[in-house]
């Protein structure tokens, strides 16, 4: 590759930064992904090389990244960002040229770029940052981006899920405790704030923090010191605070369920991440990106999608945002053989095949009842029986690799009866063919 020769070390003074290099590798990877002239085996080989290259760079780059971030923040005449006048591509390119570390954040949506540009400016400071956005929009990833681009990058990044700690343990979890402070406190223990000393503490789901915890957190923000539970000793902590929530904290503070003073303390810099449905144009790229990522992890060829499944994925609402899309691609890559179809989607989001809807609409004997909408006990029983029948057929087809004759033989059923049942449920046996996706026998 002309881009980077791994055998020639990059001089420390080079204008080529490791962050820039990582981004170039990412560009190389997506270029390869979309290349039409290369054969798939060649693409896979090159992708593998690029991944190895990225891993090597990531292994070496910590100190270099620290220096890059520190010197960028020290520049008196940092280039002015004029988002309105630049295209999305130019804005991303400009971030790359300023050695911004994306930590895998993907996408050119203007709202996402705006969030990244704010993160870029906030990172080298110690100002608290509040990140909000729906579930799965990348809040934790953004917190890591802020940490990675700041001067604390080689110091700890400690993540605390405020919603997952029982009220009784909250204080001890955050600030630590002294031996004997309460039943079960067998030893001195330091809390998350002390662990994050000199680094960053990420307070996830901050909206779940009970009011008592909010008061204590406010004190740390004001005084930069903590006391372990049961101890009089005051310990100074130097910790950068990044908090995240999928709630509307401003509204909560107006309603009195979140302290207003804490809200203003935490949200000196406020970043909002866009929902995936606000960046639909990027879905095709994300489908391909996560499809390749899953293929790499599962050691298989990237899964192909039937046209109707692709269409579904491009138009689905994604209430779980990027996490849901990523999980879907992993699921499809794990469950499908060569090609994925509706059958490989989770049942709760799987659309009813057109054929099935038509049969149901016809209201004939072969109609399939829906358990979730059954209005009588007998209807519910029929729906449960239909679901069991469907699951049985699908599992059977998986086991026999989509051969109807084999399915009929194995379960001692009449072949035309099996065909009739498959038709009733809108199941296509061919969707289950070529399911042997682990040639090594894994
Ligand atoms: N812009 C993005 N580019 C690439 N991957 C992303 C992006 N945003 C999110 N992801 C991926 O989506 C998944 C969810 O991200 P993350 O955990 O940061 O979301 P979150 O907002 O913290 O979700 P929750 O509110 O449920 O905790 C992760 O695997 C993350 O790497
Ligand atoms: Mg999260």
CATH superfamily of domain region 106-274? P-loop containing nucleotide triphosphate hydrolases (3.40.50.300)
Mean pLDDT, residues 165-178 = 90
Instruction: Choose the weakest-confidence range: 18-27, 289-298, 374-383.
Output: 18-27
Closest CA to 251 of 132, 140, 142: 132
Question: Are 294 and 327 within 8 A, CB to CB?
Answer: no
Which of 136, 205, 244, 276 has most ligand 1 atoms within 8 Å of its beta carbon, as the pocket-test mutant? 136
pLDDT grade for 68, boundaries at 50, 70 and 90: very low
Most confident option among 110-114, 196-200, 407-411 = 196-200
Mean pLDDT, residues 272-295 = 93
Ligand 1 atom at minimal distance to the Cα of residue 244 = 22
**What's the mean pLDDT when you consider all of the chain?**
81
Mean pLDDT, residues 350-379 = 59
pLDDT of residue 14: 42
Instruction: Choose the weakest-confidence range: 137-151, 264-278, 372-386, 397-411.
Output: 372-386
What are the tens digits of pLDDT across the range 387-402? 788 888 888 888 888 8
User: Helix count (H) and strand count (E) of the chain?
Assistant: 18, 11
What are the tens digits of pLDDT across the range 309-324? 999 999 999 999 999 9
pLDDT of residue 423: 86
pLDDT of residue 46: 77
pLDDT of residue 137: 96
| 207 ligand 1 Cβ < 6 A | no
Neighbours of 332 (CB within 10 A): 23
Find the 319 Cα to ligand 1 centroid distance in Å: 13
Q: Which ligand is nearest to the CA of 318?
A: 1
Question: Are 92 and 100 within 8 A, CB to CB?
Answer: no
Closest CA to 100 of 20, 45, 177: 20
Rounded Cα distance, 269 and 311, in Å: 38
* Sheet containing 240-245, strands listed edge to edge, beginning at the edge strand earlier in sequence: 157-161, 200-204, 240-245, 129-132, 269-272
pLDDT grade for 11, boundaries at 50, 70 and 90: very low
| 149 ligand 1 Cβ < 6 A | no
Ligand 1 atom at minimal distance to the Cα of residue 112 = 1
40, with CB counted inside 10 A (0-12, 13-18, 19+), is: exposed
Q: Which ligand is nearest to the CA of 102?
A: 1
Question: Are 179 and 188 within 8 A, CB to CB?
Answer: yes
CATH 1.10.8.60 in the chain, residues? Answer: 278-351
Element (H, E) at 208: none
| 246 ligand 1 Cβ < 6 A | yes
| 136 ligand 1 Cβ < 6 A | yes
Rounded Cα distance, 148 and 345, in Å: 36
Find the 274 Cα to ligand 1 centroid distance in Å: 11
The DSSP secondary structure of 324-393, one letter per residue, reads HHHHHHHHHHHH-SSEE-GGGS-GGGPPPPHHHHHHHHHTSTT----GGG--SHHHHHHHHHHHHHHHHH
- Judged against a pLDDT cut of 70, whether residue 56 lies above it is answered with no
Tokens 């107006």 correspond to 254
- Judged against a pLDDT cut of 80, whether residue 163 lies above it is answered with yes
Q: Which ligand is nearest to the CA of 275?
A: 1
Could you please state the CATH topology (level 3) that the domain comprising 278-351 is classified under. Helicase, Ruva Protein; domain 3 (1.10.8)
Confidence (pTM)? 0.65
What does the block give as tokens for 59?
Answer: 């292994």
pLDDT of residue 28: 65
Ligand 1 atom at minimal distance to the Cα of residue 140 = 18
Mean pLDDT, residues 365-370 = 54
Closest CA to 245 of 208, 218, 193, 215: 208
- Judged against a pLDDT cut of 50, whether residue 75 lies above it is answered with no
Rounded Cα distance, 56 and 429, in Å: 45
CATH 3.40.50.300 in the chain, residues? Answer: 106-274
Find the 324 Cα to ligand 1 centroid distance in Å: 9
Question: Are 63 and 308 within 8 A, CB to CB?
Answer: no
E strands, 167-238, where? 176-177, 189-190, 200-204, 225-226, 235-236
What are the tens digits of pLDDT across the range 201-260? 999 999 999 988 899 999 999 899 999 999 999 999 999 999 999 999 999 999 999 999
Mean pLDDT, residues 298-303 = 94
For the chain, give the percent of residues with pLDDT over 90: 48
Mean pLDDT, residues 416-428 = 86
Find the 376 Cα to ligand 2 centroid distance in Å: 41
Rounded Cα distance, 96 and 21, in Å: 9
pLDDT of residue 367: 54
pLDDT of residue 425: 83
| 106 ligand 1 Cβ < 6 A | yes
pLDDT of residue 365: 41
pLDDT grade for 73, boundaries at 50, 70 and 90: very low
- Judged against a pLDDT cut of 60, whether residue 272 lies above it is answered with yes
Find the 332 Cα to ligand 1 centroid distance in Å: 19
Rounded Cα distance, 207 and 232, in Å: 29
Find the 431 Cα to ligand 2 centroid distance in Å: 35
pLDDT grade for 263, boundaries at 50, 70 and 90: very high
pLDDT grade for 353, boundaries at 50, 70 and 90: low
Which of 133, 138, 285, 331 has most ligand 1 atoms within 8 Å of its beta carbon, as the pocket-test mutant? 138
How many CA atoms lie less than 13 Å away from 225 in the CB half-sphere?
A: 7
- Judged against a pLDDT cut of 80, whether residue 440 lies above it is answered with no
| 369 ligand 1 Cβ < 6 A | no
Question: Are 245 and 130 within 8 A, CB to CB?
Answer: yes
240 beta partners? 200
Most confident option among 71-80, 274-283, 394-403 = 274-283
- Judged against a pLDDT cut of 50, whether residue 413 lies above it is answered with yes
């Amino acid at each position: 590759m002309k881009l980077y020769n791994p055998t020639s070390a990059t001089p420390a003074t080079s204008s080529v930064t490791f962050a820039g290099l990582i981004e170039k590798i990412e560009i190389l990877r997506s270029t390869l992904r979309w290349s039409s002239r290369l054969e798939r085996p060649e693409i896979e080989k090159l992708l593998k090389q690029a991944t190895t290259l990225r891993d090597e760079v990531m292994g070496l780059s910590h100190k270099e990244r620290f220096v890059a971030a520190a010197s960028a923040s020290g520049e008196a005449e940092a280039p002015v960002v004029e988002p309105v006048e630049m295209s999305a591509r130019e804005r991303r390119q400009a971030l790359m040229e300023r050695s911004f570390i994306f930590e895998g954040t993907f996408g050119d949506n203007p709202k996402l770029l705006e969030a990244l540009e704010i993160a870029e400016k906030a990172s080298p400071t110690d100002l608290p940052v509040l990140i909000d956005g729906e579930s799965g929009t990348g809040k934790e990833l953004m917190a890591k981006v802020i940490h990675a681009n700041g001067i604390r990058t080689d110091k700890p990044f400690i993540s605390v899920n405020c919603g997952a700690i029982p009220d009784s343990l909250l204080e001890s979890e955050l600030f630590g405790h002294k031996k004997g402070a309460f039943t079960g406190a067998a030893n001195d223990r330091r809390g998350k704030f002390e662990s994050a000393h000199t680094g960053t503490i990420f307070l996830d789901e901050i909206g779940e923090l009970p009011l008592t915890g909010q008061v204590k957190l406010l004190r740390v923000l004001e005084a930069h010191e903590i006391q372990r539970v049961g101890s009089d000793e005051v310990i100074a902590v130097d910790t950068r605070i990044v908090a995240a929530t999928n709630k509307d904290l401003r509204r909560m503070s107006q309603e009195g369920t979140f302290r207003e003073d804490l809200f203003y303390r935490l949200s000196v810099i406020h970043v909002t991440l866009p929902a995936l449905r606000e960046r639909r144009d990027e879905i095709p790229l994300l489908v391909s990106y996560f499809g390749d990522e899953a293929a790499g992890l599962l050691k298989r060829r990237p899964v192909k999608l039937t046209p109707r499944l692709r269409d579904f994925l491009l138009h689905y609402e994604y209430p779980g945002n990027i996490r849901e899309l990523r999980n879907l691609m992993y699921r499809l890559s794990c469950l499908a053989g060569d090609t994925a179809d509706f059958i490989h989607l989770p049942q709760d989001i799987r659309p009813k095949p057109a054929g099935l809807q038509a049969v149901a609409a016809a209201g004939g004997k072969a109609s399939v009842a829906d358990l979730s909408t059954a209005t009588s006990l007998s209807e519910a029983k029929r729906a449960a029986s239909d679901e069991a029948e469907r699951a049985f057929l699908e599992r059977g087809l998986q086991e026999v690799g989509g051969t109807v004759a084999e399915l009929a033989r194995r379960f001692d059923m009449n072949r035309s009866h099996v065909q009739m049942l498959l038709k009733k449920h809108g199941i296509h046996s061919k969707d289950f063919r070529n399911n042997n996706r682990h040639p090594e026998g894994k």
